[in-house]
Structure 1
Amino acid sequence: MGTIAVHEFIALDGVYEDPSWTFEYGFDPKMGETLAAITSASKAILLGRTTFEMFAPAWSTRTVEDDPGAPFFNDTTKYVVGASEPQVEWANSTRVGAYDPEVIRKLKDEIDGVIYISGSGTLVRALLADGLIDDLHLFVYPIALGTGKRLWSDGVDATKLALKEHEVYANGVVHLSYGPAEG
């Protein structure tokens, strides 16, 4: 049975939208090591349609010389969740349709290993509400943006998590790894 591991870049106030605000902090090499550890255990990628449409043109033309993560993103099977058909093509991609927790449970049953999610905030919010995320890796940046889509929005039920590990990087970013809370 598979597990779902998510990584999100978020601000202190939970904003994840348009992570271009992260650029001013640089990318600490240790963050790359953490992300490489997550992706190296992954057998599949699960993305929301919007993130898929952003990632496809950015990753599909990259090679390992451009970015060591390119083979993972290009060669790994990608499952796309969304009510509408993606507007771009990308090798090794399969559309699974609108969000349905039973479809995701079936995918977890069929994939022996980690199913990786990057971004895809709307999808991640739904998966959290349905208790389908096994590992939530939050890379929290030392800024409160004040506006933008938040990973947890007003009016949602409480989400209880258990801290599994944490790490602080030289650029001020904190990595918090959570799993489901017991009981």
Structure 2
Amino acid sequence: MTATTQDAVAPPGGSGTVPPDAFRAAMTRFARSVTVVTAYDGADPVGCTATAVLSLTDRPPTLLVSLASDSGTLGHIRAAERFGVSVLPYRLRALAARFAELPAARRFDGVDHDGAYGAPLLGGAVAAVVCRVTRYVALGDHTLVVGQVVHVATDEGAEPLIHFARRQTRPER
């Protein structure tokens, strides 16, 4: 599939962008880790599945997460001013659907997690990060949450769950 705008530069007053379906199709070709972004609602853990997570800089160590602006998890991050990100391992791939589809109040039922660093982190994660929020940036229907990293943990032996071409997979060895 190929889609382009008619002009290399958007005309004044025109959107100058490709159709949303063409954009979504192209984005399926960007392989990315499947993560669960978390926070606390008082003492209760909350979270959602996310793939729009990236390292912003290492001086200071900073992470960026993109969440729907109407996301319940985003509301709890705003209240807590901290968030966690757990990179799911392939062996726990069922958690991706759980944190995307179940009612928010049931997502953590029976899920191993640790909140020692101010945000819930899932047990068995390939990598886990806790951040202190430094900025929110509203863009379109999403909000970018920028946070300075205050804790990291990794499991060098775990295989990450990868989202690619509208399916979940793992890296080939």
* TM-score, with structure 1 as normaliser: 0.26
Higher relative contact order (CA 8 A, sep 6+): 1
* TM-score, with structure 2 as normaliser: 0.27
Q: Which has the higher helix share?
A: 1
